Amino acid sequence: MKAAIYCRLSKEDEDKIGESESIQNQKSMLIQYAIEKGFDIYQIYSDEDYSGIDRNRPAFNSMLQAASEHQFDVVLAKTQSRFTRDMELVEKYLHGKFMEWGIRFIAVVDHVDTNDTANKKSRQINGLINEWYLEDLSTNVRSVLDHKRKEGLFIGSFALYGYCKDPEAKGKLVVDPEAAEIVKRIFSMALSGIGAHKIARILNDEKVPSPTAYKQMNGIHYHIAAKNRNVGLWSSPTVYQMLHNQTYAGNLVQGRHKKISYKAEKTMWLPKSQWIVVENTHEPIIDMETFETVQMMLKERTRSGAKGEIHPLAKKIVCGCCGSFMEQTGRQPRADGTQRRYVRCRMHQRAPEVCGNKNCTDMDALENAVLERIRAYAADYFDPEKVTLPEQDDPIRQREQVRRDELKRLKSEADRRRKAMQELYLDKVSGLIDAVQFSEMNQTFLEEVKKAETRIDTLEAELEQQQEETGGAQTQRQRVRELAQVSYLTRELVVLLVHRVIVSPKDPLTGEQKITIEWNF
């Protein structure tokens, strides 16, 4: 008779039992048993670092395929749990398929033998005990991991983009300077009213590596489960998730999803109330004030305009007749080439019988009304001569820092491209690539370096000019006066100050239209 030997060892078994359950020990015992019983050994199948509940064990499935083809007569395992800890598989194979295929199963230590019909109940009891063991183990492991999460220890396999695992302190995160600059830039663009889709497009146009590509470029063996050919590109969901993640503000967020069952790999997302959040566990990349402002803007999010920017008053204008949102309904060209924009009640367009507000309202007039009201409040409550702005709060210096961050990134990128060109030349000299390949790839690198250098020159000129403009305290004071005048309306300003703008129908006699602004303060 031919016998297939099956051995398995998982990490939890190795930690718990040690050498006595090693693969080599199992092999030796089963080979000796086969010799004593006069079995010819067909093949030894071995799975290491696989749980007994796992149905995707390669050697296990290979053995089952050979069994279905009647390549051997007996399966030998040290214990029934080495074969499987899944009660469903016990019933399917030991008491089903193996009998159908004429395969005998023997577990040497457990004295399990499917030829002995008297111990079927024992096999079933063993199967239940083995499955209960896994269930208890899963519960214990989850408790330990949750305890670590609540202690503020990072337990993920890979650090969040913008951070690295601290090599000197297990469970701690440290800032990755290069990636952190991109994170800061993403939040800065969001603050200026740029939508997630356009942010992703800007990063892709500039060939900034996506989080997945960045990990792979830095030697981290990171793979995503989904079959996505565009892992090297930024996407709006990626940007949107980053903008929502308060880990960037120094608070560690974990436990956002969990496995449905210890038997399945599928996970389910948990409600936000069940997430484990521990504050001030690591250095923030984004200050909390900026993070909270971005959250307010995301909460008021709407579709971006044609240029990828969200209109300052988007989803803030409501009808005074029915309370529905008003939306842009058309444009009218002006003599100077610009376009006059209008908004109209959404409900009236869909159901005129419900709302009688048929008037179109000039969007520019609404913007000016809100802007003038903000200016009036600023004039009443804000004295620029009494304001002392620390350097980190100075908008000019913030813009200067953004430029410096971009300049640093571009110089680093250009240096990497030059290094790649040198390595490319060595590949050509070594015969690894031919002259045509070298020429094409070298030309691509040259164009990328040239583009980066052009932008570097522009940034350096802007920084030099800005440095001249911000040379003294008087210049800074003048900038404060300009800010107090609120020269234009921004999405950030509207989200922070304006609850909604109520537009009432025009008076049929006077033609006047009442505009009411409700504030957040």
Residue of 191, 379, 374 lying closest to 287 (CA atoms): 191
Alpha-carbon distance of 166 to 154, in angstroms, equals 10
- Domain that includes residue 53, residue range: 2-147
Report the CATH number that the domain containing residue 258 is assigned in CATH.
Answer: 3.90.1750.20
Q: Do 242 and 337 fall into the same domain?
A: no
pLDDT of residue 50: 85
Supply the mean pLDDT for the chain.
Answer: 79
The last residue of a domain, from among 299, 333, 360: 299
Strand 339-345 to 276-278 pairing:
unpaired
Instruction: List, for residues 256-314, the tens digit of each pLDDT value.
Output: 777 665 555 667 778 878 888 888 889 999 998 889 888 887 776 554 454 555 677 87
Q: Do 198 and 290 fall into the same domain?
A: yes
Residue 157 falls inside a structural domain: no
- Please state the rounded mean pLDDT for residues 431-455: 82
Q: Do 49 and 141 fall into the same domain?
A: yes
Instruction: List, for residues 94-139, the tens digit of each pLDDT value.
Output: 888 998 999 999 988 888 888 887 666 676 666 666 666 666 656 6
Answer whether residue 390 shows pLDDT above 70.
no
Residue 310 falls inside a structural domain: no
One DSSP character per residue, 29-81 reads HHHHHHHHHTPEEEEEEEEES--TT-S--HHHHHHHHHHHTT--SEEEESSHH
Q: Do 9 and 131 fall into the same domain?
A: yes
Name the domain count of the chain.
4
